[in-house]
Amino acid sequence: MRRKSELKKVSGALVFILTFGLLFMNEDVQAQSRGIFVPYSTAGFGLGTSSYFGDFAPYRRPLASTFKMMRWSIGGNYTRHFTPRLAARASFIYARIAGDDYIMNRSEKHESNIFYARNLHFRNDLKEFSVQGIFKLTPDNRSYDRRPQFGTYLFAGIALTAHNPKALDSLNGDWIKLQPLGTEGQGNEGYAKPYSLVQFAIPIGIGVRYKINSKLDISAELGFRKTFTDYLDDAHGAYADPALFADNPTALALSNRTTERYAARKGADRTEALKKFLVVNYSLETNDPLAAIPTTGFGAPGTDRGNSPSYTDNYLFGMIHINYMLPSQIKCPPLK
């Protein structure tokens, strides 16, 4: 049923994109009547940033969520320009997203909250292939070499994203794939099935373009991706019964990290902040917070491990592209 719901959302997005394009088709026809538009193609290469929003990066803290764990993105695309205003492109982007409870909450203001005490983190390398429709707010002239010096555009489409969240094992320093571990009990009787490592997403965004010369453009884009999964970060539901991991110490360690003294990625000692956490949340003073946390019930089976079960994880790309105008015709050398 969930898959059907996702497909309905994707279908609705595609209908919106097509409708959006048709609303301006009449204007394109009028533009072409003033002169025959010559369709053209471009190939682009881009570098940029990526940001993640989800259980470790909430929307209520937009600046911290966007910039504190910002990572990289790289990609290429092929674009076909059909009319002065409408184009379509196929794009591939390889990017990394990351989140860390310690980094997001290590300030005095936030270190007493439950997310600091949760002490989870992840990184996830995304491979996204998308098809997008582009609407140019600044229309082209009748050929690519006559295009305006400066232009703006909107884009939206559909994407397929492969992902595989990992976490750092404090004992051996390796990054471990989390989905096979079933950190929330996935795959066991009475628990959900393992989450998929391939997901749909809806890209939507805005871009600006500058004409360098007749053959080259530089563009800057900001593109948001709405996904249909809450597992880009491996955190969604509740803590599982630790007995499930009796024969897998790695899964046991990575499923619940509340009693780890050190933040895995930064190596920082959490003891003093955890003392404050217990005082603020449980009115409990102790010199050994790591031993006291389990007695409070925090992190116990059935309690929340993910803090946004009704929302999905999403991500944002900011990219700079160099776009090359492809020759409209390939001339063959004369036969001798």
**pLDDT tens digits along 53-80:** 999 999 999 999 999 999 999 999 999 9
In this structure, the number of other CB atoms found within 10 A of the CB of residue 91 comes to: 23
% of the chain residues with pLDDT over 70: 86
Query: Can you give the pLDDT at residue 20?
Result: 47
DSSP E strands in the chain: the ranges are 40-53, 71-81, 86-100, 121-136, 150-162, 166-168, 175-177, 198-211, 216-227, 314-326
First to last CA, the chain: 65
Residue 226 backbone dihedrals phi, psi, to 5 degrees: -90, 120
Query: Could you give the CA distance from residue 156 to residue 205 in angstroms, rounded to a whole number?
Result: 7
Which residues, in sequence order, are CB contacts of 288 under 8 Å at separation 6+?
none
Q: CA separation (Å) from 122 to 98, 165, 220?
A: 6, 6, 28
DSSP 9-22: HHHHHHHHHHHHHH
Residue 235's Cβ-side half-sphere holds a number of Cα atoms within 13 Å equal to 29
For residue 82, count other CB atoms closer than 10 A to its CB.
14
Per-residue model confidence (pLDDT) at position 284: 95
pLDDT at residue 30 greater than cutoff 60: no
What gap in Å lies between CA 87 and CA 46, rounded to an integer?
Answer: 18
Q: Strand pairing of 175-177 and 166-168?
A: antiparallel
2-161+196-233+255-326, CATH topology level: Porin (2.40.160)
Rounded to an integer, what distance in angstroms lies between the CA atom of residue 91 and that of residue 78? 7
**What pLDDT, on the 0 to 100 scale, is given for residue 315?**
98
Rg of the chain on CA atoms, in Å: 25
Answer whether residue 257 shows pLDDT above 50.
yes
- Write out pLDDT tens, residues 164-182: 999 999 888 899 999 999 9
The pLDDT of residue 335 is: 55
**For residue range 211-236, what is the model confidence (pLDDT) as tens digits?**
999 999 999 999 999 999 999 999 99
State residue 23's pLDDT score: 44
Q: 151-166 pLDDT, tens per residue? A: 999 999 999 999 999 9
